[in-house]
Structure 1
């Protein structure tokens, strides 16, 4: 029996309330997961909030249910059960017009088996996603590229510790003036990005300065290494 229909839906604002999180953070996580291909970006809707329209994502149907569970498992794994309870409430509402006596014994057995199967699958999804969520929440506020100092703050490690990691793993090196420089292979692999400043005028003439910045790809890799407590 198919319980969940397209009429049952949940928006990102309701998810934010369920997990006690800011709505913009929930929307940001949805967009990042969609960019990585983990979920499908849901359709957008609008509703008035304090006199102004507010946009939100709408999850509906079985696909929406799956994707919303993944979003919450990444945001706050401990609130996943709360989301599942909400979906079950929506499913129960779909059957309110139907009297319990109209369900046959076979229908009840099928409902029980389906619920148990969904619980087993959900536990498996949370077991897989929870370690990733713990590692990725270190970089929840990280976008584009960051300097070593800024990346160290995001990763919650010392700047010297992060620098030594980059040196040990041949991501960067120190030149003759002890300045951090990027290996070409690191640039090619999109682990780092070298930013060149606008020319500055000195008595000796114009000079430009370069700075090595870490990409989100590299920061994610380091976050996973820190969670494991061993070199990646």
Structure 2
């Protein structure tokens, strides 16, 4: 198989980027460019480009090839030169890419098979990550901990089904048949559930009472979304 290294756009760096990398004022960098290129008898106007500044005024910057950038940097300190050189190397990496060209029919078939295998692996990863992505989407709609009924709404299932699933999977329990739901200690310790005091009742203040209620945390919503994904409740 033949490997070709193909260049894309020619690497260049603007005087404004040099100024940003070195912390110098742009007009000082332009001064240095004009001075150094002038000493080389290079017409600096060949590299000029027009841009609009923050006030909408036309200004001139200069796009330089790597060799001219290095020439201008000669008079700068080592740390400043290092910043610009590092950036130039990054640009050169981006500007070149490798193409593998099959030289015969067998290599072409192998390349197609390898590509199909990569696509299949990528598809598998996407499928594996889908529950987590959907869980995060649901989580984004929550604000702190919420009651189980609200959690069921976020998860897109019926409240009674969620209560049953939580009970069957040892998230919550009742001490007696008509007692309020409580969270199992491991679920509290792991931060999936929490107990919170809430006020229930309507009407006059004397008719209200404070009870302890199981709440689902943001972490709990995420975990439930992942565990319930693909389950028919």
For this structure pair, what is the TM-score category when the shorter chain's length is used for normalisation?
Answer: 0.3 to 0.5
Q: Which has the higher contact order (CA 8 A, sep 6+)?
A: 2
If the length of structure 1 is used for normalisation, what is the TM-score? 0.42
If the length of structure 2 is used for normalisation, what is the TM-score? 0.42
